[in-house]
Amino acid sequence: MKLFNTQDKGVRQHLRNNVGEPEHQLWQRLRGSQLGVKFRRQHGIGPFIVDFYCSAHQLVIEVDGVTHETMASQKADTGRDQFMRSLGIKVLRFSNQQVMTEVDGVVQAILDEISIEKLTPP
């Protein structure tokens, strides 16, 4: 499980400047409030840095590459997701493959989650 000093702006900036193509493609669809809400990329939450975060909906979006297919990585992701849930944050995970071949479906799943949140009373 990778833990970062999320207060270290340099680490977050390095991650933002060195993203893979799937994250870049999804960011092109999320940036500038194109979905009606603001997303941040490479955002620190507790000891973790998440790919994308929407504070208005307490929603994390993670784009997982092949390194997330190992048993150890899946266990770490489960722990990370449990931590996020303990803070009231929902996590949506998509594979690199999904983003690269089905970006419209990925964006629709994010929109669906945002719409569900709008309909759910506090």
pLDDT digits (tens, 9 = 90+) for 14-68: 555 567 889 999 999 999 999 999 999 989 898 888 999 999 999 999 998 756 5
Phi, psi of 99 (to 5 degrees): -65, -40
CB 73 within 8 A of CB 59: no
Q: Which residues contact 2 (CB under 8 A, 6 or more apart)?
A: 48, 76
Average pLDDT, the chain: 83
> Which positions ≥6 away from 77 have C-beta within 8 Å?
62, 64, 68, 93
Sheet holding 40-45, edge to edge: 40-45, 48-54, 59-64, 90-95
The answer to whether 6 touches 20, Cβ cutoff 8 Å, is no
Q: What percent of the chain has pLDDT over 70?
A: 75
45 and 60 Cβ atoms separated by less than 8 Å: yes
CATH number of 9-119: 3.40.960.10
Which residues, in sequence order, are CB contacts of 75 under 8 Å at separation 6+?
none
Per-residue pLDDT at 47? 86
Question: CA quadruple 90, 95, 100, 102: dihedral positive or negative?
Answer: negative
